Amino acid sequence: MKNRILEAAENRFFQYGYRKATMDEVASDLGISKKTLYIHFKSKDAVAIAVIRALHKDIDKLLKQFSIKIPDPVERLGMMITEVSARLTRIGTLFLADIKKDIPALWRECEDFREKKIFEYGEAILKEGIRKGKVKKDIDTKIAMLVFLGAIHAVIQPEVFVKNPFSIDEAYKNILNIFLKGIQK
Amino acid sequence: MKNRILEAAENRFFQYGYRKATMDEVASDLGISKKTLYIHFKSKDAVAIAVIRALHKDIDKLLKQFSIKIPDPVERLGMMITEVSARLTRIGTLFLADIKKDIPALWRECEDFREKKIFEYGEAILKEGIRKGKVKKDIDTKIAMLVFLGAIHAVIQPEVFVKNPFSIDEAYKNILNIFLKGIQK
DNA sequence: AACTACAAATACTTAATTAGTTTCCATGAG
DNA sequence: CTCATGGAAACTAATTAAGTATTTGTAGTT
């Protein structure tokens, strides 16, 4: 039951932001009462914290699997787009902006996860690529990671696909291609 | 200035629904104060009414242009997907659900527009297709239009494109293809 | 420097909404 | 028939939002 609550809350929080999503709506989505909801969670804040921790745990698991199952650093970068960054993008800027004000500790936790896990994981992939002769030696891996994550964040959003005639798979391919090879002729 | 207000309000209303979009947010998006906002519009309801009427007027104009410029009924159906129904879908179910409660007259106006303009316009296209021998005579044009508009409504939504590997143009083509030719081998 | 017009920023009033709690009621199991 | 459980609805207290009013800052003019 807790997982069902987290999933419903995640959907609401990520689509509308933390503030505009109400506990009445989460309960209604599940066909349960707020009484039942508050049996499982102490507060709305507690729900948000649990939602984010579950997502981070899920991503952490994925990253570990990639390290084991995918030896090629370039392929691992590709998986980072499709499996990891796409998940993080779902959180949405609304949710993050709201919890920055309402639950700053959770916001810092998200920033830390992004900084420590995703960013450093990606940076390690780039460094491994340099060692294996697949990435140029003079690339600043920190800047490259910012470029990479910024590109993903800008493109992988629902509204972009309604306005542009490419599919999400095409978007993934193009982002990776541009990042890896640049656009110069 | 009125048009800028309508555009900002439309963006907010259509993304969040009528209730969750606030006049504070609309004003902030425009970098003006609510004082200035309420110089131009009597109330929030007045803004919503103006937004919808402008959109309907825009669509009405498009339909008139199609009748003049596109003789082929099948091509006109295609344009209805890409130019008209896509616009109407932007309104979103949230906004419609909210105004059904808060501004029922506007909701009825939307339903009327959909029923009188879009539906009958499309039905007329089908009938013309029958006359020109391009559509089967035994097709019930009312049911066919419901099928058509229902299919568009189900597919042309931002979330669908994040979860599925086809582009919006591919979606348009497939909806029209299935509607025109069916899927049977 | 002083004055005026204008609008943003902010404060305010009133009504509505929301988080979280409590009560009432319906339902199923024993 | 009784009991346990949870949905529906009501409730309290705090917060938010529509719309209005006041304060403040800025630009232009004299």
pLDDT the model gives residue A21: 93
Where does residue B11 rank: exposed (0-12), middle (13-18), buried (19+ CB within 10 A)?
middle
CB < 7 Å to strand D — which of 36-75 in chain B?
Answer: 38, 43-45
Q: Is B50 helix (H, G, I), strand (E, B) or coil?
A: helix
CB-CB under 8 Å, A156 with B158? no
- Average pLDDT estimate for B18-23: 93
Q: How many CB pairs under 8 A join A and B?
A: 43
Domain B2-181's class? mainly alpha
Nucleotide nearest to B30 (CA to C1'): C8
Structure confidence at residue B82 as a pLDDT band (50, 70, 90): confident
Mean pLDDT of B95-107: 91
Q: Which tens digits make up the pLDDT trace of B125-155?
A: 999 989 988 888 888 888 888 888 888 888 8
- What tens digit of pLDDT does each residue of B31-74 get? 999 999 999 999 999 999 999 999 999 999 999 999 899 988 88
Question: Does pLDDT of A97 surpass 80?
Answer: yes
Residue B29 has pLDDT above 90, yes or no: yes
Identify the residue with better confidence: A181 or A109: A109
Cα–Cα–Cα angle for B65, B5, B66, nearest 5°?
A: 5
Q: Read off the pLDDT of each residue in B157-162 and give the average, rounded to a whole number.
A: 83
| Alpha-carbon dihedral A156, A13, B158, B26, rounded to 10 degrees | -100
Taken in order A49, A51, A55, A60, is the CA torsion positive or negative? positive
Burial B35-61 (b: 16+ CB within 10 A, else e): eebeeebeebeebbbbbbeebbeebee
B86 → chain A, closest CA residue: A162
Question: Could you check: is the Cβ of residue B167 within 7 Å of any atom of nucleic acid strand C?
Answer: no
Query: What is the ipTM, given to two decimal places?
Result: 0.79
The bases of strand C with some atom under 7 A from any protein CB are 7-11, 17-23
What is the model's pLDDT at position B165? 87
| Predicted local confidence at residue A23, as pLDDT | 95
Domain A51-181, CATH among 1.10.260.40, 3.60.9.10, 1.10.357.10, 3.40.50.720 = 1.10.357.10
Its sign, for the CA torsion B99, B103, B104, B106, is negative
Hey, what amino acid is at B15?
Q
Segments making up each domain of chain B, as ranges: 2-181
Average pLDDT, chain B: 90
